[in-house]
Amino acid sequence: MPANIQKKQLFTASCLALLVTSLSFGIRAGILGRLGEKFHLDAQQLGTIAATAFWGFPLAIVIGGLVVDAIGMKKLLIGAFVFHLAGILLTVFATGYWSLFISTLFVGIANGTVEAACNPLVATIHSDNKTTKLNHFHLWFPGGIVIGTLIVFFLDKMGVGWQVQVGLMVIPTLIYGFLFSKLDFPVTERVASGVSGADMYKALLNPLFILMIILMFGTAITELFTGQWIDVLLKNVTDNAILLLTIETGVMVVGRAFAGPVVHKFSPAGVLLISAVLAATGLYLLGHTSGNMLFVGAIIFGMGVCYFWPTMLGFVSENLPRTGAVGLNFMGGAGMFAVSLYMIFMGGYYDRLLVGKLPAGAELAVYSGAGATPEMTNALMEAKKAAGPAIINATLIIPIILSVAFAGLLIYMRSRKHEQAQKLSNSIV
């Protein structure tokens, strides 16, 4: 590593950039229902708006992954700063569905660009401890969601509008943009190690990498769909739905902060198996209980999903290093793309569930409109109380499948490690 590369400052700036990314998730999750009421949007429209961030993310992260080796990580991060600033300001001055759609798309592009540059940056400057440092870096994602949801909660109590809440994200955006503009960057680890572009793209066809892409679909949906929609799904089940998200992400912050000993004790594959089992247990509790047990479910779910994203990236970086920055960014892009499709599908499914639980012939637009009678409002509330947990229970099947898949992955990795040790022993003899 060249002497002019300030690893600590680069890592700090990366964490600030990810903080802005996560604040956008946390604050949007907290105000999503309010945006629907203000601009008269149904659940499918809200789902499409929320999913737009997840469309922009894979678009940016895949394109960024393809060009990062050529143009460098610094230019990508300056681009992320511009899109973040534009997206935040457009959200503050939104006037309806399309302005929210475009502003959220800009924020999604910025979020994906941050990941496209910062994941390989962290892996490069901490090449001797990738999985642990990626967990430390990614603790700022749930950390920002905690901060974002608390901002929404307390500013709501003070009567401060959602425009101010969104506008606060400008502060860390300006700081990380300034820091990155002043710092020198290393080349990516793949470039530094001399792995050719052809070898990198060949490594992307490795069956193990393809399997990890498929598993990333499930881990991302389990973590991000539930977190983004928890206020919408459970706000009629509990008065503290947004605090469930705060608790869940708070657990994730603590878990990722102590990732080092956990990863070293259980191995990345072992951590992923334990995570899937805990995530399934937490979702079951969120979908089948009420009252204080919902908070127990949020804690267990947070323990489950806290290691998913960074450990998936760490696993690929450590076991498939030839995939380079493109491999890491394809993983992130695949996860976000899966979440975007799932959100749109579940938004429509949620609306259909509501209609099915209303009186025969009822129109959802009438029951949720300004002219709804008290009887209609109560009926809609009861429908939402049943529909939210039903969505969570439908999602439960994903971590159950992941549990089986990660058990197989753990067995395979142990077998491969044993074979490698055996070959080494035979070569010494």
Which amino acid appears at position 330 of this protein?
A: F
Confirm whether pTM is higher than 0.95.
Answer: no
pLDDT attached to residue 414: 92
CA distance 425 to 301: 42
pLDDT given at position 279: 96
Judge contact between 276 and 424, C-beta under 8 A.
Answer: no
Residues 6+ positions from 160 with CB-CB distance below 8 Å: none
CA–CA dist 247, 149 (Å, integer): 10
Q: Which residue ranges form the domains of the chain, and what is each CATH number?
A: 7-418 (1.20.1250.20)
d(CA 289, CA 284): 8
- Structure token digits, residue 411: 């067995």
Q: Cα–Cα distance between 316 and 383 in angstroms, integer?
A: 43
Walk along the chain (429 residues) and give the pLDDT tens digit of each residue.
566 778 899 999 999 999 999 888 778 767 777 788 788 887 778 878 877 877 777 888 888 878 888 888 999 999 999 999 999 999 889 888 898 899 889 998 999 899 889 988 998 888 888 888 998 999 898 888 778 878 888 888 888 888 898 899 999 999 999 999 999 888 877 777 777 878 888 989 999 999 999 999 999 999 988 876 776 667 666 667 767 877 888 899 899 988 889 988 888 999 999 999 999 999 999 888 888 888 899 999 999 999 999 999 999 988 998 888 889 889 988 998 898 889 888 888 888 888 888 888 787 877 877 777 888 888 888 888 888 888 899 999 999 999 999 999 999 999 988 777 777 666 665
- Give Cβ neighbours of residue 386 (< 8 Å, ≥ 6 apart): 353, 357
The tokens describing 251, both together, are 């657990």
Closest CA to 255 of 210, 289, 296, 300: 300
pLDDT confidence of residue 222 = 95
pLDDT recorded at residue 237:
66
> If we measure between CA atoms, which residue out of 324, 319, 318 comes closest to residue 202?
324
Choose among 251, 256, 233, 253: nearest CA to 302. Answer: 251
Q: Where are the beta strands (DSSP E) in 181-297?
A: none
> Is residue 290 within 8 Å of residue 296, measured between CB atoms?
no
Q: Are 191 and 69 in contact (CB under 8 A)?
A: yes
Separation of alpha carbons 388 and 179, rounded Å:
42
